[in-house]
Structure 1
Amino acid sequence: MSLSFNPDTVTIPSGHHIGGRFVELPGEKIAVLRPSDEQPMRPVTDGGKDAVEMAVAAAKSALAASGWARMNPRDRAKVLFRFAGKIEEKAEYLGRLEAMGSSRLVAGTVTGDAIRTAGVVRYFAEYCDKLEGIVTATKAETLSYTRREPYGICGAIVPWNFPMITAAWKFAPALAAGNAVVMKTSELTPHSLLALAECAAEAGLPGGLLNVLNGWGHTTGAAIVAHPDIGIVSFTGSTKTGTAVMTLAAQSGIKPVVLELGGKSPQIVTRNPGDMDAVATRVANAFMVNAGQVCTLASRLIVDRLVADELVDRVLERTKQIKAGPTWDEATTFAPVISARQFERIDQLVQETVKQGAEVLTGAARLEGPNQGNFYAPTVLANVSRANIGFTEEYFGPVMSVTTYDEIEEAIAEAQHPIYGLAASVHTQDLKLAMKVADSVEAGMVWVNQHGRDPEFTYAAGGWKGSGFGKDMGRAGIEEFTRQKAVWINYL
């Protein structure tokens, strides 16, 4: 069965989702465009402080009425399992919303993103009864132990590049740990998350435990971060905005934040990488996936000089094999940039990189074709010095620079970035070299013979340095949404 669909036939949710239902509130209207053709979708309203206050009140009421935090953990898990099942039941609808409203391709949203979102909810549901404390060694006739408790209300701010999955990384562990959630969508991609909230309501999640708000970052997002009753904030986005979130969280009352931020991730290819066709495919996909709109994008290729020419030639061949087109066409293999504004940002950075001395091997221009969206050609650049803006800044587009080296120590030194430390990869048949790179590169995630996360829920994801701190997924992902309490009992 074909996954292609007519976007004009898809029902689009409206309003904020607060207290288990859709709510229309006054506020500035925000236009939402389909990235593939820039046609309007249903607009949303900037919720601002009023929407956040309403959502926090709903969360407080739901926590009190349902006893969610003190519920038998297995009963809490049953609700989340039903939520996961409802997502799977509506996977086609959710995948279509995600595809038409974002840069995600329908070939991957229905069977991939929607099903993986259900998997994330299911994974953390299984953790409900596995949050354990420890008993510490003490003197006789005393008991000392630690326990993990929920914060109460968690704030979450979600990016536009992988809306459903990134949202699930936040709300699923928070709910499993016994919290309520107030989450802001990206103003560019709000609709699939509203539909997810409705799935939760239909599955029987007490209304008010998952609230999804629309709005601008500086209004609705800021109100979430600053609200005194929100105990922790999880944010995924740019390093610049992450800095603002962290600052506001400190200024408004000291609360922890979990941040996954920007990256400038390297992939190192050694002189014995294995099957060169397979390596070229991995390298090419690592910077072209989702039109380069990925925080872990492999934007820097660092390749042994002995194999550089052959590898780069094969990568350039693959940049010519893409099929750009609308996200709702199953045959499309290359996505549009999310917006005209983002397109201009990418192009300005590329042109400045060239002006500062880089050589264009391919791309560096609009991808011409019959489509109305903003498609940026896959771009490969050489001679990008460490002083060049193309090294220091994140493109967040399908752009990769190429640097050669002679000894692995040079490659490791080149891989280190003064600002970012999100991810890195190495392609090699030499396990000793692979381990040396993995041990040496300053990054929160390192892959060997691939670049990018598998759909594996146990893998804790997060960065170092300016790429943030804290973890999504894995055991660490749920522990982020709990706080430790130490208890000392003298039973004399």
Structure 2
Amino acid sequence: MTLSHAEWTAKAKALTFRNQAYIDGKFVDAISGATFDTINPATGEVLTQVAACDAADVDAAVTAARRAFESGVWSQMDPTARKGVLLKLADLIRENLEEFALLDTLDMGKPIIETSTVDVPGSAHFFQWYAEAIDKLYDEVAPTAPGDLALVRRVPLGVVGAVVPWNFPLDMATWKSAAALAAGNSVVLKPAEQSPLSALFLAELATEAGIPAGVFNVVPGFGATAGKALGLHMDVDCLAFTGSTATGKMFMEYSGQSNLKQVWPETGGKSPNIVFADCEDLEAAADMAAFGIFFNQGEVCSANSRLYVERSIHDLFVELLKARAEARVPGDPLDPATVIGAIVDEKQTQGIMARVEAGKANARLVTGGERVTVDGKGCFVPPTIFADVAQDDALVQEEIFGPVLTVIPFDTEAEAIAMANDSIYGLAASVWTDNLSRAIRVSDKLMVGTVSVNTVDALSAQTPFGGMKQSGFGRDLSLHSLEKYTALKTTWIKYKLQA
């Protein structure tokens, strides 16, 4: 049964927050004693003071992770037993759905209807999915001559550092951790400083589920301290990162400056959405185009923020979008009726509005474009649409990470493809057409990791998520993601052909 606004608000007020680091199976203060505020962006209120970890805390967490890995308590556990533990963790996430949903809603401002029906159930599902895969993955025997037996196995790397963003706090922590843990690694997770609370609760439940001490650690803190320390640590074997392209490049540099650890970056995006005139259901296309940019306040790396519409239907489609944008009114994230919540913090809000203000000078503002408040408070930006935008405008070329859509007409298929590919990013794209040949032809030519045809931003546990170009080369989800948390190891055995 869906809770009411009043019921969610009451539950939020009753929450207590885990605000220490989680290292070696227990909550601990930062060694320095330092803390930072985590703030509700919908109200400006401080939720709690969280341990501000730095290099010393990261070292303690990595030491615990290495000790646990080498002991074999997790890395050499019977795969069926390891599966059982992660299945238990999936169940615990479901049992604590309301608390997880509230933590992410309060921490980063996303609507409770989304955290409770999408984010938290999704995290439980991904833990379950990777758990179920553990005892169904087989190694290889290479073809060799008689007298030789070559075994090719995938073995866990050791200590995996995971640095995740604030836009989907629990989901992104899960995407990295579930696969890394399933493969037998120890994990040191650094959540974004804007949204650390759900990751700390996840660590507590991981221990309750049976994950041994030291195997799953959480070090809240800032990117320049805790994040950098993970990137430079000589005993971290792999660094999985989701965030900005600029920060992804820094982690690549940290690898070269330290131990050549594997780095798997999933970085920025500026995803195109192409609507052809032969799309028969323009209402559905408009619904999904609005969803593709305004879901999660546009704070999605694969958000369909560039819309290319065939000229003959351009004006009609802009009007369809305008109506859908104006129907999405920012509101209290704890209200189940709210579909546009708060922007994560003041810095991000000001950055979005600076891009919007600059865009007004060169493009036509269709709707939105002004910062608003809810009950006189908060970081809220309504859905904003620009038309008559030049392809080389910053609105089109630069990632805004907010609810801002640009609409550009095109005349030919080749022109649409050229403009869609005219980006430093290559994360995702959408194509709307009822011509099967065109759908396949255009999809083949788009330089992105995922093309969604007659939908937007399609993903599942079964399919890899990641991009090309400066969207990085990391892949989350699917069995392929296990490849980045394991190493190929060959054991070659000579044996006698005669007794």
Alignment-mate amino acid for residue 40 of structure 2: R
> How many angstroms does 1:327 deviate by?
1.3
Per-residue CA distance 1:343-385 (angstroms, 9 max, x = gap): 1111112222333x22211222213553511111211112322
SS at match of 1:374: strand
Q: 2:401 aligns with which of 374, 392, 396?
A: 396
Q: 1:468 aligns with which of 459, 468, 472?
A: 472
> How many angstroms does 1:290 deviate by?
0.9
> How many angstroms does 1:130 deviate by?
2.9
Report how many aligned residue pairs link the two structures. 490
**2:360 alignment counterpart:** 354
Alignment-mate amino acid for residue 470 of structure 1: G
Q: 2:493 aligns with which of 477, 489, 492?
A: 489
Q: Does 1:302 align with 2:302?
A: no
8 Å Cα contact 2:365-2:386 kept in structure 1: yes
**2:47 alignment counterpart:** 41
Q: Does 1:13 align with 2:12?
A: no
* Distance in structure 2 (CA, Å) of the matches to 1:301 and 1:112: 25
Q: Does 1:337 align with 2:340?
A: no
8 Å Cα contact 1:361-1:379 kept in structure 2: yes
Q: 1:48-447, aligned counterparts within 5 Å?
A: 48-355=54-361, 357-447=362-452
8 Å Cα contact 1:325-1:371 kept in structure 2: no
* Distance in structure 2 (CA, Å) of the matches to 1:104 and 1:130: 36
Range with bigger deviation, 107-116 or 287-296 = 107-116
Range with bigger deviation, 254-263 or 22-31 = 22-31
| Cα distance change, pair 268–35 in 1 and its aligned pair in 2 (3 A) | same
Range with bigger deviation, 124-133 or 176-185 = 124-133
8 Å Cα contact 2:161-2:187 kept in structure 1: yes
* Distance in structure 2 (CA, Å) of the matches to 1:360 and 1:381: 5
Q: 1:24 aligns with which of 6, 29, 43?
A: 29
8 Å Cα contact 2:298-2:402 kept in structure 1: yes
8 Å Cα contact 1:425-1:450 kept in structure 2: yes
Alignment-mate amino acid for residue 483 of structure 2: E
8 Å Cα contact 2:290-2:324 kept in structure 1: yes
* Distance in structure 1 (CA, Å) of the matches to 2:392 and 2:455: 28
> How many angstroms does 1:65 deviate by?
4.0
Alignment-mate amino acid for residue 390 of structure 1: L
Q: 2:482 aligns with which of 475, 478, 487?
A: 478
* Distance in structure 1 (CA, Å) of the matches to 2:422 and 2:257: 29
Range with bigger deviation, 135-144 or 281-290 = 135-144
8 Å Cα contact 2:270-2:423 kept in structure 1: no
* Distance in structure 2 (CA, Å) of the matches to 1:383 and 1:87: 46
> How many angstroms does 1:157 deviate by?
0.4
> How many angstroms does 1:277 deviate by?
1.5
Per-residue CA distance 1:148-207 (angstroms, 9 max, x = gap): 000111000010000101110101111110000000011100101101111111111111
Per-residue CA distance 1:422-458 (angstroms, 9 max, x = gap): 000011111111111111100011101111234x211
> How many angstroms does 1:418 deviate by?
3.4
| Cα distance change, pair 490–66 in 1 and its aligned pair in 2 (3 A) | closer
> How many angstroms does 1:137 deviate by?
2.2
In structure 2, runs of 5+ residues without a counterpart are none
Per-residue CA distance 1:367-415 (angstroms, 9 max, x = gap): 3553511111211112322322112210000111111111111111110
8 Å Cα contact 1:323-1:331 kept in structure 2: no
* Distance in structure 1 (CA, Å) of the matches to 2:372 and 2:35: 31
* Distance in structure 2 (CA, Å) of the matches to 1:158 and 1:37: 24
* Distance in structure 1 (CA, Å) of the matches to 2:276 and 2:195: 39
* Distance in structure 1 (CA, Å) of the matches to 2:257 and 2:239: 14
8 Å Cα contact 2:185-2:215 kept in structure 1: yes
In structure 1, runs of 5+ residues without a counterpart are none
* Distance in structure 2 (CA, Å) of the matches to 1:18 and 1:164: 18
8 Å Cα contact 2:330-2:381 kept in structure 1: no
> How many angstroms does 1:145 deviate by?
3.0
* Distance in structure 1 (CA, Å) of the matches to 2:16 and 2:468: 41
* Distance in structure 2 (CA, Å) of the matches to 1:131 and 1:248: 32
* Distance in structure 2 (CA, Å) of the matches to 1:27 and 1:237: 27
Range with bigger deviation, 369-378 or 69-78 = 369-378
Alignment-mate amino acid for residue 479 of structure 2: R
8 Å Cα contact 1:343-1:376 kept in structure 2: yes
| Cα distance change, pair 191–414 in 1 and its aligned pair in 2 (3 A) | same
Runs of 4+ in 1 over 3 A off after TM superposition: none
> How many angstroms does 1:66 deviate by?
4.9
Q: Does 1:457 align with 2:453?
A: no
The normalised TM-score by structure 1 is: 0.97
Alignment-mate amino acid for residue 495 of structure 2: Y
SS at match of 1:31: strand
* Distance in structure 1 (CA, Å) of the matches to 2:169 and 2:338: 20
* Distance in structure 2 (CA, Å) of the matches to 1:353 and 1:487: 59
> How many angstroms does 1:42 deviate by?
0.6
Q: CA RMSD in A?
A: 1.4
8 Å Cα contact 2:110-2:340 kept in structure 1: no
SS at match of 1:87: helix
Alignment-mate amino acid for residue 94 of structure 2: E
Percent of paired sites with the same residue: 37
SS at match of 1:429: coil
* Distance in structure 2 (CA, Å) of the matches to 1:371 and 1:396: 24
